[in-house]
Structure 1
């Protein structure tokens, strides 16, 4: 009987600890809510309410010389935004700064990046960053 009582007591203790951790932990990560996209022919801007970070991804198509050699085709651009406090934007048409002349073919807001932003040796000016 002592072994059964010990087993039941341990089970109750473990279940109580698991329930306490589950109810006390709350949300694991803050998420942006109420996101809105402002999309143009060559650019996109995002804004989210709530808490947390998000990523604005823009798929561009056109001429891209940001990596050093000219490439005609698709090139991705991305930027991180913070819910409630920022309005990140990306523009596919930046001929003087990056040598990019293109149009935005797809725009999305994600929690996890799905594509790289720019080649590591490319610099992109962000007018929203201060």
Structure 2
């Protein structure tokens, strides 16, 4: 990519709203917990998902507590955050901010399934969160 392309990308990124995985204004806009459903179908059935805006992609996984630190070591370099299981259960969340599309959702779903299996756990599915639209606030 040439200098002009890199400058254009830098300017475009500065215009994008900053999104954080723990933003209290986030709402679930799409869910995919059925392994038989394609990620493209999950995205297509969601009227709330806004493809042109960043989202928090959040994978729901069961990973043994003694393997959570290993999961963090493997995922943090790629921008993922691994949460500890909640008080009410043994499900952890693996999250990061990104633009969603069917290809990347499918790739990450496969990656999380592989990771969970290697660490003695299981991937349950994913959901995506975005801020409420301005009109709904």
TM-score interval, normalised by the smaller of the two chains: 0.3 to 0.5
Q: Which of structures 1 and 2 has the larger relative contact order (alpha carbons within 8 angstroms, sep 6+)?
A: 2
Greater fraction strand: 1
TM-score, length basis structure 2: 0.35
Q: Which has the larger radius of gyration?
A: 1
Q: When the two structures are superposed, what TM-score results if normalisation uses the length of structure 1?
A: 0.36
